[in-house]
Structures are given as structure tokens and as C-alpha cells.
Structure 1
Amino acid sequence: MKNLEKYILICLAILFTNLIFAQKNVGPIQEIPCSSYTPKPQFDKFIGHWKWTSGNDSFEMILKKEKTFNIIASDHSCVDYIIGFHQYSKNGAIIESSLQHQNTNYGAKLKSIFGVGVSPDDVLSAGVDILSNGNHVKMELEYIDANHVKIKSLNTYPGTKLYLPGQTIPSSEITLPQDIILTKQ
């Protein structure tokens, strides 16, 4: 039994090492050597600076489209993804913010929002890091019109999550506002 545990730990260590070294900071977008490129023009309507305010509470996000390596394929093909940065304030106090990183690219790994696709009914599926508690949730962002989008839902991802010894287990609480309409700034 101990040999099996050692074997599993060694395999996990090799897997995580490969994943870490496989991620490269490729620098400016223009330097990405793509074997092919699949643009996603459906992302264009979500690009911009969006803000919601209610009394002393506010939520804002900056979304941009970025050409980067396809994370699903290993053929050096490129595709567009949405990367974003957000700030949440409650009672006038900033609870969490990644807006200071808005001028970075995907390779810098400082984004707090990552969008992968848009459904036929104009809903962007994206992951959001809740910076204040370490949770990572799925966001559905609905396009309403050129000046408005709506956070339709924020949900935890289903399934089992693996945490290695010593890793902090994040809270499963969703602290960001939901069912809100944001206005383009």
C-alpha cells in the first residue's frame, strides 16, 4: 500500500512539474508563433470597462480579447480568449481588486477573469477568481446591448477538487454580487 501511495505521489509530482514548465510567458501578443489562428469575433461585444453601482457597493470589470495559444490543443495553434480584471467594493471599502494588473497579458497570469466561449444566445462563459477567499467560480455574463451586460449567475464548479498537503482549501462562499446589470464606461 505504501508503494502505491509513493507511486501516486511521484506521478502527481511529474504531472505538476510538466504543467508548470509547459506554461510560458510568451511576452507581447505579436511574438506568438502560431501554427494557425482561430479568431472569435463573438467576444468583441463583451470587451470594455463595465461597472455596477448600488449605494456604496460597486463591481467593475475590464474585459479584453487576447490572442494566445489554444489551451486545449498542443499543436501551437492560437485562439482568442477573454481575459479580465475586476474590483469589488462594499460599503465604500475595496474588498478585492485585480484592476492594477489590467495592462498585463495572459502570460503574466495576473488575470482574475478568463472567458472561453459565447453561447448562441450571447452568454459569455468565464471563470472568475474570488480574490478575497481563494474561490474560483463559473460566471455567465449575458450581453444585453452595446452599453449593458448582466451577470446572470456565479456558481461553484461541480466535481471533486484535489488539494495537496499544505495547500489552503479555499472557501466555497460566493461573495461577489450576482444578477446585476453593468454599464459600459
Structure 2
Amino acid sequence: MKNIFLLSILIFFSVQCKAQNNIIALTNCNKKYDHSTGDYYLKDTTNEMNKYEGVWKWSSGNREFILTLIKQVKHHYRETGNDNYYEDRLVGYYTYKENGTIIADTSSDTNLSTDYGMKVMFILNCHFQIASIAFNDYKKYKEFEVLLENISPTQIKMNMFEREHVITIRNGIQIPAEMPQGGSTFPMEMILTKQ
């Protein structure tokens, strides 16, 4: 009976020790960690991402862009390869309208907990910038680099930059299926107001 009790205590402490994560600030430019152990948590230690959570709107004349951002705390990356770590991130979706007609809408992307294939995902980089990991203009078959800048508690600036677009052929199928098109569906620089 005494051995069972000691074994139970040993197992309890082993599980507790494994549950501890090495916390690394997302803004630490010198961060080095093993992506595969599940022991590391890249954390928004300054809560900078909190300023960007919510629904943001830009409008000009008959055009309207709405961006919704949600902070995911301690998201567990584990879908591909050796990834097994935790990280804070911003995910979301957008809607773009002209004359009240929806031109682009990613709000049906309901699985915002996936690791890859998302249309809108941001992190806090080591330069204290909210930078996109993914920002997909699916109407133009393009990915953009996007930086968000906090102007005030009620306004953010969104700047988009074109990335180099790579077309791949897998099993005889071109990815993306269509060639990237010129420009963007919506303005590449906007001031958005919190709703």
C-alpha cells in the first residue's frame, strides 16, 4: 500500500513538472527554443495584442471593409511536422463591400483554431509590430504582408505589402488554381475604427 502511495505521488509530480512551460516573450528577438517538445510558450507578455482585439471598420464613399480579430491565448501548434509548442496569436476574418454588395467575405472560415491554411492570422513580432503570418486576398489569389499599427484606443492603421507569389505544381495540379491577379480587392492602406 505504501508503494502504491509513493508511486501515485511520483506520477503526480511527473505530470505537474511536464505541464510547466518555458515562457518566452514574443518580442524576444533572441528567442531560441525547440519547436517539438511541447515545453515552450511564446507569450504576449506585454498584452500588446489586446489593443487589436475586436471589430474594426473602414469606409469611404460606397466602400466598406470590416476586420474582426480574436486573440487566442496559448494556442497549441501541433498539426504539421515536428511542431509542438504554444503561442499567443490574433486570428479572424474580413468582409469587403461595395455599394452594399459583398465583394469578399472570409467570415465563413469558422475553424479559427487550425495551424495552417487560415486567411487571417497575426503575431506580435520581436519589433513590437503586429504582423501577418497569413493575410489572404482570395479574390486575387494572393497573400499579402500586413502590418497593423495602433493609432489610438479606437483606431488602427492597416498597411498591406505584396509578397512574392509562388505557383507550385503538385500531382499535375497548379496551386493556387488561378494565377495571382494584379492589385488587391480592397485598399492596401486603411485607417480602421473600433466598432
- Between the aligned residues of both structures, percent identity stands at 22
SS at match of 2:108: helix
* Letter of the structure 2 residue corresponding to residue 53 of structure 1: S
In structure 2, how many angstroms separate the alpha carbons of the residues matched to 1:123 and 1:36? 21
Tell me which structure has the larger Cα radius of gyration: 2
Q: For residues 156 and 81 of structure 2, what CA distance do their matches in structure 1 show?
A: 30
Q: Which amino acid aligns with 2:39?
A: S
Q: 1:147 aligns with which of 151, 154, 179?
A: 154
Deviation track 1:9-30 (CA, whole Å, cap 9, x = no partner) reads xxxxxxxxxxxxxxxxxxxxxx
Q: Which residues in structure 2 correspond to 1:135-174 (within 5 Å)? A: 135-151=142-158, 153-158=159-164, 161-164=166-169, 165-167=172-174, 168=177, 169-174=179-184
Of residues 109, 118, 129, the one that matches 1:123 is: 129
Matched letter for residue 117 of structure 1: L
Asked if 1:93 is matched to 2:101, the reply is: yes
- The one-letter amino acid paired with 2:166 is K
* 2:77–2:115 CA contact under 8 A, matched in 1: no
Match of 1:114 in 2: 121
Per-residue deviation, 1:111: 3.6
1:35 corresponds to which letter in structure 2? D
User: Alignment RMSD, CA only?
Assistant: 2.8
Give 1:173 deviation, angstroms: 2.5
How many residues are aligned here? 149
1:99 CA displacement: 1.6
Q: TM-score, normalised by structure 1?
A: 0.69
Query: 1:51 corresponds to which residue?
Result: 57
Alpha-carbon distance between aligned partners in 2 of 1:110 and 1:93, rounded to the nearest angstrom: 26
Match of 2:139 in 1: 132
Q: Shift in Å at residue 172 of structure 1?
A: 4.2
Give the deviation of 1:175 after TM superposition.
2.1
In the aligned structure 1, how far is the partner of 2:87 from the partner of 2:183? 32
Instruction: Flag the 1:52–1:133 CA change in 2: closer, same or farther, 3 A.
Output: same
Structure holding more helix per residue? 1
Moved more, 106-115 or 42-51: 106-115
Normalised to the residue count of structure 2, the TM-score between the two structures is 0.65
Contact 1:123 1:142 in 2 (8 A): yes
Q: Which amino acid aligns with 1:149?
A: I
Does the alignment pair 1:38 with 2:45?
A: no
